[in-house]
């Protein structure tokens, strides 16, 4: 009996070792395909292929404005160039989540150019992507040339799933960065409803009355009742 228990533990240990090896590692190689503005496949020197999901960002989906522009830009940045991917985890589809480097941080560059959004649901504390998105918003680059930055990819995907928000992308209260007192006096706070992504200002009847979170930098469609961020 002990022999079988030991074998079972050996299998579990091997699986854990393999999983941890995949996470937090560097992958170097050449890009063999680009699926869209935030997904690519890289092949290393051992001829092993990895599907990479660029962490911290979300590019427009196929059928959305700038989807092809984003994909073409990513392709141009990585084509015929050796890249380095610093992975930190895998997603539910088995893709490696990581940051892609070709001299610069490609993830942040795409956000800087308005060809991807800061993926705030999963990476609320990514200061680099937040700053790059603020730059793109200020200069109306890429998607930010559209009214209020257009429909976010996560909302677009959700709308194709009968309006049901996947449990995995719901932000927890602890994930939303706190704003210090000085910032609170200088910047208005908005309430973002999770199910619709709509932005409500403090004069709205839905402010803090829906399932959502507070932010001083909302990204989403303005509430038609109060006008959201555009009216405060």
CA distance 68 to 62: 7
CA distance 19 to 110: 29
Clarify whether 132 is annotated catalytic. Answer: no
Clarify whether 73 is annotated catalytic. Answer: no
| Catalytic position from the list 7, 45, 95, 178 | 95
| Catalytic position from the list 3, 7, 61, 113 | 61
- Nearest alpha-carbon partner for 215 in 185, 180, 176, 182: 176
Clarify whether 45 is annotated catalytic. Answer: no
- Nearest alpha-carbon partner for 114 in 67, 155, 79: 67
Which residues are part of the catalytic machinery?
A: 53, 61, 95
């Amino acid at each position: 009996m002990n022999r079988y228990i030991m074998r079972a533990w050996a299998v579990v240990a091997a699986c854990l070792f393999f999983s941890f090896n995949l996470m937090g590692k560097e992958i170097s190689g050449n890009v063999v395909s680009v699926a869209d503005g935030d997904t690519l496949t890289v092949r290393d020197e051992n001829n092993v292929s990895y599907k990479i999901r660029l962490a911290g960002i979300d590019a427009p989906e196929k059928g959305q404005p700038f989807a092809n522009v984003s994909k073409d830009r990513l392709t141009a940045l990585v084509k015929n160039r050796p890249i380095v991917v610093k992975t930190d985890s895998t997603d539910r589809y088995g893709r490696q989540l990581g940051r892609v480097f070709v001299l610069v941080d490609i993830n942040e560059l795409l956000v800087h150019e308005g060809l991807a959004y800061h993926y705030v649901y999963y990476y609320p504390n990514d200061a680099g992507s937040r700053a790059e998105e603020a730059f793109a918003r200020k200069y109306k680059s890429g998607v930010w040339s559209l009214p209020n930055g257009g429909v976010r990819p996560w909302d677009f995907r959700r709308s194709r799933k009968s309006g049901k928000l996947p449990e995995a992308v719901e932000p927890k209260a602890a994930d939303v960065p706190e704003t210090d007192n000085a910032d609170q006096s200088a910047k208005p706070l908005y309430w973002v409803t999770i199910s619709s992504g709509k932005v409500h200002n403090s004069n709205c009847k839905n402010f803090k009355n829906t399932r959502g979170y507070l932010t001083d930098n909302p990204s989403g469609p303005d509430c038609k009742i109060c006008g959201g961020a555009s009216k405060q």
